[in-house]
Homo-oligomer: A and B are copies of this chain.
Amino acid sequence: MKKDFECTQESYAREVLREKGLKSTAQRLAVVHVLHTSRKSLSVGEIHDRVKDMLGTTGLATIYRTLEMFEGLGIVKRLHFPDGGHGYAFSQGEHVHHMVCVDCRGVFDFPECPVENFDYASVEKQGFRVKNHFIQLFGQCVKCAEAA
């Protein structure tokens, strides 16, 4: 494939894919590029549109397949919005949390884990063994706060 773009994230994705014996196709790398260069999270349709802009024709099913695969690999994260919608954001590595601007759907990463120091003891009293968590912070980004 020809390369119209280049970035560390692209090579990161290549690497993860190769480790798993998966192919680095133009479509997959385009999805990475699109998500990584967007400051806001994107819907499936938006990703599809942007990938089509890059590569010409691209099947929607491929986008779905790629996103599902990438989510499993920790390359992208699916985010849920208060209005019920959802979108995807690039996410290098497993344990990163995200702040989402409720106005522009902009995504901001942060590595600190808010529940790191939380004592699960009281919660696990019920017998529930916590293994994982999903956290999203909602609020306003600087731009949207200024615009308001």
Contact = CB atoms under 8 A, between A and B. Distances in A.
Interface of A: 68, 78, 80, 82, 84, 99, 101-102, 108, 110, 112, 114-115, 117-118, 122-123, 126-142, 145
Number of copies of chain A assembled together: 2
Nearest to A145: B129
A135 B108 contact: no
A14 B131 CA distance: 37
Given A123-B112, A127-B142, A135 B132 contact: no
A82 B133 CA distance: 10
A134 B138 contact: yes
A47 to B, nearest CB: 16
Given A68-B84, A80-B80, A110 B122 contact: yes
Contacts of A139: 128-132
Given A99-B123, A134-B134, 10 more contacts: A102-B131, A108-B128, A112-B123, A115-B115, A117-B117, A126-B142, A128-B139, A130-B139, A131-B138, A131-B139
Contact of A129 (B82, B110, B140): B140
A61 to B, nearest CB: 15
A116 B49 CA distance: 40
